[in-house]
Amino acid sequence: MNYTFQFGVLAQYQDELLAGLWLTIQISVFAIVCGTAFGILFAALRSVAGRPVRIPIDAYVELIRNTPFLVQLFIIYFGLPAGGMRVSAITAALIGVTINLAAYSTEIVRAGIEAIHKSQIEAGEALGFTRVQIFRYVVIIPALQKVYPALSSQFVLMMLATSICSAISVGELTAAASFVQSQSYRSFEVYLAVTALYLVLALALRAILALIGLWLFGRRTARRALKPVVEASA
């Protein structure tokens, strides 16, 4: 193969790439915060509420988890205007990633809640805890501790999935790479560089999540969340 790499060309477009990287980070942080909050709420309602509440939540989770993320984005960005609700590309991306992550978070947190043994709840009742205290100290915190590594992995997957938002003209990292490639005609160099940026971003996110796990739950949970980073750097 007679090909000469010219990575120096990318220096001319570093502002575009950095702007795309920053937008990817912003979308990811928004999705993690809002998607996790909704996931905890829906998992809690699913565990304690009656069928009229559980059935819509179950339907939502199954619908989102069994349809492509790209199709969900298209429905939000192209479908909502047909109903009279027009949203910008970035707003559609934020709504899409939040809805998608919330569905997966709901299922992950639900598994953690169901792993809490009834005897622990009964012990809380015997100690005179209120229902709110039981849910907070006996159920949700231990449940989140059990599933935190799985949640961390889902957060990284969602960060990588933000690349799909380029399909609706959101100027995140993949869209920035497409623009740079169209201007420089150096496809190999552009996408190798963007691959490296996504890798660094994923490893950095895992490390940050591990530190958060250390702060919230202690060393054992943090080590489990950090394990992929250690393996990748070995």
pLDDT 10s digits, 1-36: 576 777 778 888 889 999 999 999 999 999 999 999
Residue 114: how many other CB atoms lie within 10 Å? 12
- pLDDT band at residue 232 under the 50/70/90 scheme: very low
d(CA 30, CA 91): 11
d(CA 50, CA 52): 6
State in Å, rounded, how far the first CA of the chain is from the last one.
Answer: 31
Rounded to 5, what percent of the chain is helix, strand, coil? 85, 0, 15
Domains along the chain?
Answer: 14-218 (1.10.3720.10)
Tell me the average pLDDT of the chain: 86
Q: Give the per-residue pLDDT at 37.
A: 95
Handedness of CA 40, 33, 146, 102 (dihedral sign): positive
- pLDDT band at residue 124 under the 50/70/90 scheme: confident
- pLDDT band at residue 233 under the 50/70/90 scheme: very low
Q: Give the per-residue pLDDT at 52.
A: 87
- pLDDT band at residue 152 under the 50/70/90 scheme: very high
pLDDT 10s digits, 48-104: 777 888 899 999 999 999 999 999 999 999 988 888 888 899 999 999 999 999 999
Q: Give the per-residue pLDDT at 34.
A: 96
**pLDDT at position 192 over 50:** yes
- What is the helix (H) or strand (E) element at residue 20, kind and residue range? helix 14-48
**pLDDT at position 219 over 80:** no
What integer is the mean pLDDT of 144-169? 93
